[in-house]
Structure 1
Amino acid sequence: MIDNERDTALAQAIALREAGSVEEARARLVPLVERYPGDAQVAYQAAWAHDVLGLEREAVPFYEWALIGDGLPAEDRLGAFLGLGSTYRAFGAHDKAVAILQRGLTEFPEDPGLTTFLAMALYNAGDPKTAVESLLHVIATTSTHPHLTPYRKALTLYATDLDATHP
């Protein structure tokens, strides 16, 4: 069902955020979340506005609501996983960060952003070896730097086992 009033209000809030009027956008999004409590897109935009304003703890429930069900386009869903995972990590909930970023990778395998934030969370959660292996994987699969590309095969190998030795 199309709700033109919701669509217009959401578009206006997004335009405000994009124009730098993030506080005004947030002020419009919070009542929209209350009016449309099951709307993943509204919740995601509210999370984003809170996050941009440095209100990470307040952003968490909006991110969580946004990830319930399938209401977000893929790009926004990926953004919600990144936002929630990095927010959990930022305030020390490392195990939650690892869990949400791993969940994101089940939906978006090989995403370098999720993998990078997961590496940081793994490091914070006490798993530095897996963290470094994850970062090596990102470097091996995304770098085009001429000083790294000749070593792509070795980086890929060490990304699967950092402790490997080779004859």
Structure 2
Amino acid sequence: MAEALEERLARAVRLREGGDPGRARELLLDLRGEYPSDARVAYQTAWAHDVLGLEAEAVPHYRAAIAGDLSGEEMREALLGLGSTLRALGRDEEAGRVFEQGVQLFPDFRPLRVFRALLRYNTGENREAVADLLRLLVETTADPEIQRYQRAVTAYAEDLDRSWLDGTTVDT
């Protein structure tokens, strides 16, 4: 029976990735009914709902997936999906907790930090959002012109209200 699950789950993923998330959702909902405690099925079901714009319906599936046994890659993606979905629904406090959990568990998974920065912007934490994005830019850019200013950009990220060159406070 496990092979049947694997085959059906793979088929649902192919449908979602192939541009037919509606059919994927139907198959995944059937699988959720048959395998309610399977975290991978819950994760894929959440994702299919998200792709279809059914964010509110995706949330319980994400939560079930995160409570279950996912691989590291699946867990970080599920945390990203849940946080992003909660943010889209305006459930900012919950989204913040999910992103913080994700960043703590997966500090090197940069997409969590990007989406946390978006949430910070939405909640009025504009300095923190910009600082996060500046740090990510310095860490990831291959642009030699930006790399040339790495020290200055890093310093600005640490204190956006300071003039890095002369040490005076900028009026905000």
In the superposition, the TM-score normalised over structure 1's length comes to: 0.91
Residue 164 of structure 1: how far off its partner (Å): 3.6
Code of the aligned partner of 2:19: G
Residue 161 of structure 2 corresponds to 163
Residue 58 of structure 2 corresponds to 59
Matches within 5 A, 1:124-143: 124-143=122-141
Judge conservation of contact 1:95–1:125 (CA < 8 Å) in 2: no
The answer to whether 1:21 aligns with 2:17 is: no
Q: Which structure 1 segments of 5+ residues have no match?
A: none
Residue 74 of structure 1 corresponds to 72
Report Cα offsets for 1:113-147 as digits up to 9, x if no partner: 11110011011122111111111111110111122
Code of the aligned partner of 1:50: H
Residue 96 of structure 1: how far off its partner (Å): 1.3
Question: Aligned-pair RMSD on alpha carbons?
Answer: 1.5
The sequence identity of aligned pairs, in percent, is 44
In the superposition, the TM-score normalised over structure 2's length comes to: 0.89
Report Cα offsets for 1:63-114 as digits up to 9, x if no partner: 1111114x11222212111111111111211111111111100111032211
